[in-house]
């Protein structure tokens, strides 16, 4: 292969890989409690671990986390110390500028009991001597847990490993446990009697501790601890483990480890005044806690499509301007991107059964982050008389077990029908309409209006067909206002659920594109669209009969631009909106979804309730699922006020690592282009374009016949020939 074709291949390969990479920030997020700048006073712009789910929240410590005089854990607040731009809140609802030092992040350490101590019920002399006491001090710093060495918030050590109370790690002889940060634990031998194990702790392959432990039923024998000099302290505990059992079999010998606790003694983070972390400057660094503030002015972008980052991963999200109460001000909340692989918990607002009465046990989209929350619809989401979107509440309709709350703070049983989930559709404007500022006659006729109705059902967005909550269609694709999809000739866009959009050809003048919408390989719609600067020409819509309606809109797209180059021809699509017309979900009374039964199914909304009794497990280490993915999490019994407990709804979100893209150059090297394909339009991989379908034309000449329309695009035949010759050239080379 000579240099020019090879170079072109590499350029195409690189560009293809670029298009396959997912944009940053496409994952889920954790939201904090929302604040309305025209309704909240200045002192209400604050969040703690119960109101911002990104913060570390050990539920059994709830009382000391919400007590302002103790204030364990993390807090974020906005305070007015500079009159340059005024205060936030009712006195200045349109203000969106944080002057230097007005954004305050603070964190204080809190005490924790070693699992070895709490799970085995140790106290006094039964606690291993090297542990010093039953407790250590943990400090969350930008949501990451650290150990405060000698209870000093300015000396932090990373937690490398911390087994839960029920966690076990079984290791065979010769196996190694990767604890993290270069630390490993290796089992070397088990004695012939099967009651002793020899193991070692290593760091980067170098042994730092070694022990022979006998599982004789005593804590003194089975527990192993290790200390070292780090931070400003001598003989600081950094490793704890417990050999729960040892086994010698005819084939395998093994040991079981529990309550393991390890901190990184070799990398101590020392924090001082003036240091800067994640864009915030340390203003107070003392043994009792840390306070950081913004060193520079922060201008919050009041735009629902934009984020204003104030740390590496935390940001402020707002509504558009004027979406606050009475059309004044805006909605604001802190949030965190979930971009790193892992499993995250999204919590709802916490409630204390010893303080909150029965009427308080309710959550909406502003207080439970699992629910769909379009921030610009805030007013109608929180207005109880309108109540758009999803809601979850507990009501007392059966006196068998009483109500949750202050009247019976220890009650943890929901009788039949006492857990209620409701959802109502809300109107949304098509992006094509909102982004292009369309109204009246400028809106494409097939769209019917500027709006459609969306209904969230167990946090999944659906379209309510003809604004009927009992007839739902899945949203397959919905491009954001700034989203673009670029497709070369021959490329296919996988929209989801078997739907694809394929670009077949671009005319020689580079202003028309022929594309088709397909489902499972079958052409549903096809069009030649001209990018002539008019919505009438550049927008394409498609309707079908589905649900109980005729000519229902199911597809919208907009050809933003078309390009014909010497190497590539391509088209750019925006505002694409697609629903699944072939799979309508019809909901009726008596149906059951995710363990809840439909009690009310009407055009205006749905109400579901628990068909059976739900017994909430009042245990901080356990979850009580009430749907496939939503559950109640509680503290242990008695951790609330007046003998009650803490409770909140939650869901777990898993962010998976993206697979590494395969070598595009290798893929291209495997391409086979045969001579009989030279009359077909080919993409860069040599695959055939779809057979020529019946073509719908979306331009000013749409009333003319298909044949006449085809004649208006003379460049397509020539383009096919050129690409065919290129294919032969590549084949011969």
**Tokens 């089992």 belong to which residue?**
187
Task: Supply the DSSP string of 43-98, one letter for each residue.
Answer: GG-EE-TTTBTTS---GGGHHHHH-TTT--EEEEEE----TTS--SSTTSTT--EE
State whether residue 620 is helix, strand or coil. coil
262 and 211 both lie in a single domain: yes
Per-residue pLDDT, 691: 36
In a domain, 198, yes or no: yes
SS3 content of the chain, % helix, strand, coil (to 5): 15, 45, 40
Query: CA–CA separation, 468 vs 454, rounded Å?
Result: 10
- From 606, 626, 655, give the residue that closes a domain: 655
Contact partners, residue 350, CB within 8 Å, separation at least 6: 50, 59, 62, 646, 647, 648
298-301 CB contacts, 8 Å cutoff, 24+ apart: 298/97, 298/98, 298/103, 299/96, 299/97, 299/98, 300/96, 300/97, 300/98, 300/332, 301/96
Taking CA atoms, 33 is separated from 268, 293, 302, in Å, by 34, 21, 17
In a domain, 567, yes or no: yes
State whether residue 467 is helix, strand or coil. helix
Query: CA–CA separation, 11 vs 484, rounded Å?
Result: 21
Burial class (CB in 10 A: 0-12, 13-18, 19+), 727: buried
In a domain, 186, yes or no: yes
Per-residue pLDDT, 661: 53
- From 636, 655, 674, give the residue that closes a domain: 655
Instruction: Give me the residues of the chain with pLDDT under 50, please.
Output: 1-26, 662-733
Query: CA–CA separation, 666 vs 687, rounded Å?
Result: 16
Token pair belonging to 171? 């290791």
361 and 484 both lie in a single domain: no
Contact partners, residue 174, CB within 8 Å, separation at least 6: 186, 187, 188
Query: CA–CA separation, 409 vs 352, rounded Å?
Result: 8
615 and 671 both lie in a single domain: no
Cβ atoms 402, 352 nearer than 8 A: no
644 and 610 both lie in a single domain: yes
Query: CA–CA separation, 332 vs 309, rounded Å?
Result: 13
Query: CA–CA separation, 591 vs 295, rounded Å?
Result: 56
- From 635, 655, 675, give the residue that closes a domain: 655
Which of 166, 163, 210, 167 is CA-nearest to residue 185? 210
In a domain, 148, yes or no: no
Please state the domain count of the chain: 3
Query: CA–CA separation, 45 vs 550, rounded Å?
Result: 49
Pairing of strands 176-180, 183-190: antiparallel
Query: CA–CA separation, 422 vs 388, rounded Å?
Result: 10
CATH code, domain carrying 594: 2.60.40.4190
Token pair belonging to 24? 């940053």
Q: Give this prediction's pTM.
A: 0.82
Burial class (CB in 10 A: 0-12, 13-18, 19+), 63: middle
531 and 668 both lie in a single domain: yes
Query: CA–CA separation, 270 vs 273, rounded Å?
Result: 10
665 and 559 both lie in a single domain: yes
Backbone angles phi, psi at 185, to 5 degrees: -125, 125
465 and 403 both lie in a single domain: yes
Per-residue pLDDT, 660: 60
In a domain, 220, yes or no: yes
366 and 433 both lie in a single domain: yes
State whether residue 282 is helix, strand or coil. strand
CATH code, domain carrying 222: 2.60.98.40
**Tokens 């809300």 belong to which residue?**
426
Per-residue pLDDT, 12: 38
In a domain, 283, yes or no: no
370 and 458 both lie in a single domain: yes
Query: CA–CA separation, 554 vs 518, rounded Å?
Result: 13
463 and 499 both lie in a single domain: no
Backbone angles phi, psi at 19, to 5 degrees: -70, -25
570 and 618 both lie in a single domain: no
Token pair belonging to 610? 């628990």
Handedness of CA 329, 334, 340, 344 (dihedral sign): negative
618 and 694 both lie in a single domain: no
In a domain, 155, yes or no: no
Domain that holds residue 448: 347-470+587-655
In a domain, 304, yes or no: no
């Amino acid at each position: 292969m000579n240099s020019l074709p090879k170079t072109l291949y590499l350029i195409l390969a690189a560009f293809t890989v670029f298009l396959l990479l997912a944009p940053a920030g496409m994952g889920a997020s954790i939201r904090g409690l929302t604040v309305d700048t025209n309704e909240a006073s200045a002192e209400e712009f604050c969040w703690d671990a119960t109101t911002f789910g990104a913060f570390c929240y050990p539920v059994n410590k709830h009382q000391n986390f919400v007590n302002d005089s103790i204030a364990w854990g993390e807090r974020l607040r906005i305070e007015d110390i500079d009159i340059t731009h005024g205060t936030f809140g009712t006195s200045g609802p349109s203000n969106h500028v944080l002057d230097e030092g007005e954004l305050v992040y603070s964190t204080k350490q809190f005490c924790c009991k070693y699992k070895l101590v709490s799970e085995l019920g140790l106290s006094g002399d039964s606690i291993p001597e090297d542990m010093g006491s039953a407790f250590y001090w943990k400090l969350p710093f930008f949501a990451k847990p650290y150990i405060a060495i000698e209870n000093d918030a300015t000396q932090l050590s990373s937690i490398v490993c911390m087994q839960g109370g029920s966690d076990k790690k079984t290791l065979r002889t010769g196996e190694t446990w990767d604890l993290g940060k270069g630390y490993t634990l290796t089992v070397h031998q088990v004695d012939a009697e099967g009651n002793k194990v020899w193991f070692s702790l290593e760091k980067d392959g170098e042994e730092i501790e070694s022990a022979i432990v006998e599982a004789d039923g005593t804590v003194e024998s089975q527990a192993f601890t290790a200390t070292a000099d780090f931070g400003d302290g001598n003989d600081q505990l950094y490793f704890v483990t417990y050999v729960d059992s040892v086994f010698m079999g005819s084939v395998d010998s093994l040991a079981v480890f529990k309550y393991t606790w390890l901190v990184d003694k070799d990398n101590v983070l020392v924090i001082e005044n003036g240091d800067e972390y994640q864009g915030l400057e340390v203003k107070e660094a003392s043994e009792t806690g840390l306070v950081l503030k913004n060193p520079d002015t922060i201008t919050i972008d009041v735009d629902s499509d934009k984020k204003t980052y104030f740390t590496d991963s935390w940001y402020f999200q707002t509504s558009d301007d004027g979406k606050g109460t009475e059309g004044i001000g805006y909605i604001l909340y802190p949030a965190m991107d979930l971009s790193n692989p892992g499993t995250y918990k999204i919590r709802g607002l916490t409630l204390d059964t010893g303080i909150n009465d029965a009427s308080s046990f309710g959550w909406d989209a502003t207080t439970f982050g699992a629910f769909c929350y379009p921030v610009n619809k805030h007013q109608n989401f929180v207005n109880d008389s309108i109540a758009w979107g999803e809601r979850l509440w507990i009501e007392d309709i059966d006196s068998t077990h009483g109500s949750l709350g202050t009247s019976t703070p220890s009650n943890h049983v929901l009788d039949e029908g006492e857990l209620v989930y409701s959802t109502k559709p809300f109107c949304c404007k098509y992006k094509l309409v909102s982004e292009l500022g369309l109204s009246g006659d400028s809106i494409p006729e097939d769209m019917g209006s500027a709006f459609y109705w969306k209904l969230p059902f167990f946090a999944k967005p659906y379209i309510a067909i003809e604004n009927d909550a009992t007839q739902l269609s899945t949203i397959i694709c919905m491009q954001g206002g700034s989203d673009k999809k670029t497709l070369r000739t021959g490329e296919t866009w996988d929209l989801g659920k078997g739907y694809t959009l394929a670009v077949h050809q671009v005319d020689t003048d580079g202003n028309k594109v022929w594309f088709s919408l397909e489902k499972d390989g079958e052409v549903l719609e096809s069009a030649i669209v001209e990018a002539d600067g008019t919505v009438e020409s550049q927008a394409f819509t498609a309707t079908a009969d589905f649900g109980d309606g005729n000519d229902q809109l199911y597809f919208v797209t907009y050809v933003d631009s078309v390009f014909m180059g010497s190497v590539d021809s391509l088209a750019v699509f925006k505002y694409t909106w697609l629903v699944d017309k072939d799979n309508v979900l019809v909901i009726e009374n008596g149906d059951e979804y995710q363990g809840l039964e439909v009690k009310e199914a009407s055009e205006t909304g749905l109400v579901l309730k628990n068909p059976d009794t739900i017994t909430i497990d009042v245990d901080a280490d356990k979850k009580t699922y009430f749907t496939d993915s939503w559950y109640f999490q509680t503290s242990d019994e008695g951790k609330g006020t007046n003998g009650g407990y803490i409770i909140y709804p939650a869901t777990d979100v898993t962010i998976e690592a993206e697979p590494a893209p395969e070598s595009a150059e290798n893929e291209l090297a495997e391409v086979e282009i045969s001579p009989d394909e030279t009359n077909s339009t080919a993409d860069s991989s040599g695959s055939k374009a779809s057979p020529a379908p019946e073509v719908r034309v979306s331009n000013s000449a749409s009333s003319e016949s298909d044949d006449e329309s085809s004649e208006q695009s003379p460049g397509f035949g020539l383009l096919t020939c050129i690409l065919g010759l290129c294919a032969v050239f590549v084949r011969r080379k």
